Amino acid sequence: MKRLICTLLTLLLLVCCALPAYAADLTFRPDGSLRILLLADPQDDETPEPDMAPLIEAAIRKTQPDLIVVLGDLVEDSDVNTAVDQNGEVYELSYDETLDNCRTAIDAVFAPIIDSGIPYTAVLGNNDYKSGLSAEDLYALLRQQKGILLPETAVHSDGRISHVLPVLNADGTQLLRLFLLDSGTKGVTNEQVRWFDKANADRRIPAIVFQHIPVSEAGYLWQFCFPWEEGAVHRGKFFTLRLNERIARGNDHGKLWDGNISAQFLSWKACGNVIGAYFGHVHDISVEGKYFGTRLGMVYSDRWNGEFQHGCALLTFDESDVRNYKWTAYRYTGSVVTGDASLDEETYTPRPVYTGFAWLRHQWQLFCDYLLTKIGTDSIFEK
């Protein structure tokens, strides 16, 4: 009998160890703090770049997070679904070959995170879908990652998954809810917006949203400006933009886009408890600002197969005042190949705000708004 009991207990222990860790509750630390590390766009393939994992390891060491969120684009579609033959010709791989490459790439992304033992979760990005894999297979690859927090709170009609992670204090009271949405290849769907409205029924609890593709309202963190202003960036043939430092801060090295109104953001405003939303996708931008009461942030990429800025960001909460949390951006420079790799908190120096020609500026703003309405943004802005 004792032998039977021992055998059963051993089997039970093995089963429990094999179960994913996503049933565990997230809690604030005993000192009342919570640290969430944001990583974005590793976008690698079956032969990972030398600095991809070291960047993630450095980010974990530097920030000592309680939760890690990977903001999508785990693989680079054009690398995992093609190959080059002996004549230098590019050819498409079979579905199974692409699946194997994606598995290898995704395993490499999560390996340093799993080794850290820190709870983590992730969303998918547009390049993950552009690999050609189905949503079912992509989520199967995610679920194979040991300990990933990926509860199927909602499975949508197109196969995307949305999930919610509550964060509790020591008494078991929910103080914060983290919504993770799959933005697919073009953004969230109306179905996901309706789901969010229902899942976010308790509007007393502050909510943070994580997804890959930013809401179009993030474009309002920039403003039209004159070409000679410091920080002005040319966009398309007609316009120059610069970060609106009255509502945002950070560093923008990449392409920008125009602001627009989305059903998703209107839903957040109607709910009233969405205090922040954070995104990947844009690679060269590390910016956070507040638009109509909601903080919007974009994180540098971890992608190395191209000329991009690299880094991460940290959100630090205090359970006594969850709404007033802190954003810290980090930038990775150098390389492990050359022995000078470094991850440091990014500095930000406000640029002077040009106030001259106020009437002319206003007229130019009206003219730009007219063009955006009549001509359409695709012909004006670089996407």
Q: Does residue 198 lie in a domain region?
A: yes
Instruction: Let me know if residue 368 belongs to a domain.
Output: no
Task: Report how far residue 241's alpha carbon sits from residue 381's, in angstroms, rounded to the nearest whole number.
Answer: 11
Residue 44 is assigned to a structural domain of this protein = yes
> Is 160 part of any domain?
yes
Can you tell me the distance from the alpha carbon of 290 to that of 298, in angstroms, rounded to the nearest whole number?
12
4: in domain: no
Query: CA-CA distance, 313 to 39, in Å (whole number)?
Result: 7
Quick: pLDDT tens for 123-137.
999 999 999 999 999
DSSP β-ladder status, 33-39 and 67-70: parallel
Q: Which residues contact 84 (CB under 8 A, 6 or more apart)?
A: 90, 91
The domain total for the chain is 1
Say how far residue 39 (Cα) sits from the centre of its chain: 7
Is residue 73 situated within a structural domain?
yes
Distance between CA atoms of residues 82 and 77, nearest Å: 8
Give the pLDDT band (50/70/90) at residue 3.
low
Taking all residues of the chain, what is their mean pLDDT, rounded to a whole number? 85
Write down the pLDDT at residue 277. 98
Within-domain flag for 47: yes
User: Which candidate, 201, 205, 238, 199, places its Cα nearest to that of 319?
Assistant: 205
Residue 374 lies in a domain: no
**What is the domain-level CATH number for residue 53?**
3.60.21.10
Structural domain for 193, as ranges: 22-215+262-352
Q: Alpha-carbon distance 42 to 113, whole Å? A: 13
The answer, as to whether pTM is greater than 0.85, is yes
Q: What is the pLDDT of residue 264?
A: 95
pLDDT of residue 23: 44
